[in-house]
Structure 1
Amino acid sequence: MARSAIIEDMPPAAVGKAAAKPLDPVAAEDDFRFHALLYPNRSLSPDGFKRVLGVVILANLINAVVYVTLGAWPVAFFCGADIVIVWLAFQASYVSGRRHERIMLTEDALWVSRVLPSGHETRWRLDPWRARVRIDRPVRHETQLHLCQHGRTLIVGSFLSPKERGELAEALDRALLEARA
């Protein structure tokens, strides 16, 4: 039986611009009991992007030459538009890939930091004694990883694959149990 969609309703502890003036650091690197840095998956490297764009340019160039020699020269403009559209789509994909989340567990707090592609950072502070990890089993594509506290919910790692969300839930739950012990 599928659960109804849960909406993120936990208010942030701090907001700011990560690029211009980062928020105060949470703790020194060695003070973390758990630390995870989450990035969206990108299936194409910058070198692969250049190769794909090269193939697109070559195919459209051949197409444009054929149509120009047949006298249909306006088609060449559409071939150029194809190249620009493919380039813009990849640029949008790489910009969205700059989004990341960081989960940091210290002795007295569980911090979740979300940085958008624009550089805007939002942080949540949860009490490790009261925070609970919730995820539906079996983990499917639509399954969300929730951090719950006092009836409030924070969704974490929505851009991860189902397997990665399940592994993150297990690791975070284990770290929270160890922190409480």
Structure 2
Amino acid sequence: MVQRPDDPLLSMTLWPHQSLTPKGLEFMSWMIGIGLAIPAFAFVGTAAFWGMLPFVIGAFLLFRFMIHRNQRARRLHEELSIWPDLITVRRYDPDGTIHNWQANPYWVSVTLHDNAKIGNYLTLKGAGREIELGAFLTPEERVTLAHDLRRALARAK
């Protein structure tokens, strides 16, 4: 990607909604673990306790695995910058893959697809490619983003 000394007309980072911080998720995880263990405490010292224990531990470990998997998925984000002569989009996937796209803003078009399976599916088209943008955003957020992009592209032209 191009590193530029001048400030862009528009620069934004898009990421999925994240309702809890990593510390909050960790706290919630341990509270659920305690909640799973409470019913087993009534059976301590009996054969039923040993029958329940693998399931309680298994449920807790599965929950912890899913929380950590969600943490990795939270790394997904997109960075967009618009200058008078260049637009760049960089997408960071959770697996560490980075996808780059750039074009001249004069030739870029912003399209909201109404008939797509995803409401208000947003694409940018330019430099011989069409890319999706903000697929993880809500339909309303994509409408606002499209409006902001069109305004910035008009200033760039």
Post-superposition offset of 1:140: 8.9
1:83-102, CA deviations, whole angstroms, 9 ceiling, x for partnerless residues? 11111111111111101101
- 8 Å Cα contact 1:113-1:123 kept in structure 2: yes
- 8 Å Cα contact 1:141-1:161 kept in structure 2: no
Post-superposition offset of 1:51: 3.0
116-125 or 146-155, which moves further after superposition?
146-155
Paired residue for 1:125?
102
How does the TM-score come out when normalised to structure 2? 0.87
Q: What SS does the corresponding residue of 1:129 show, helix, strand or coil?
A: helix
1:100-156, CA deviations, whole angstroms, 9 ceiling, x for partnerless residues? 101111121111101112322121111201100001359995331100126631101
- Number of residue equivalences: 156
Q: Is 1:179 matched up with 2:156?
A: yes
Q: What SS does the corresponding residue of 2:113 show, helix, strand or coil?
A: coil
Q: What SS does the corresponding residue of 1:27 show, helix, strand or coil?
A: coil
Post-superposition offset of 1:25: 4.5
Higher relative contact order (CA 8 A, sep 6+): 1
Q: What SS does the corresponding residue of 2:142 show, helix, strand or coil?
A: helix
Paired residue for 2:32?
56
In structure 2, C-alpha distance between the alignment counterparts of 1:165 and 1:172, rounded to whole Å: 10
Post-superposition offset of 1:57: 1.4
In structure 1, C-alpha distance between the alignment counterparts of 2:96 and 2:37, rounded to whole Å: 38
Q: Is 1:84 matched up with 2:61?
A: yes
Q: What SS does the corresponding residue of 2:42 show, helix, strand or coil?
A: helix
In structure 1, C-alpha distance between the alignment counterparts of 2:115 and 2:130, rounded to whole Å: 20
- 8 Å Cα contact 1:37-1:100 kept in structure 2: yes
Post-superposition offset of 1:54: 2.4
Post-superposition offset of 1:173: 0.7
Structure number having the greater helix percentage: 2
In structure 1, C-alpha distance between the alignment counterparts of 2:53 and 2:34, rounded to whole Å: 13
- 8 Å Cα contact 1:110-1:125 kept in structure 2: yes
Paired residue for 2:18?
42
What 5-or-longer segments of structure 1 have no aligned partner? 1-23
Post-superposition offset of 1:59: 1.6
64-73 or 86-95, which moves further after superposition?
64-73
Percent sequence identity over aligned pairs: 27
- 8 Å Cα contact 1:109-1:125 kept in structure 2: yes
Backbone CA RMSD of aligned residues: 2.3
- 8 Å Cα contact 1:139-1:163 kept in structure 2: no
1:48-76, CA deviations, whole angstroms, 9 ceiling, x for partnerless residues? 21332222111222122234444221210
* Aligned partner (choices 8, 33, 42) of residue 9 of structure 2: 33
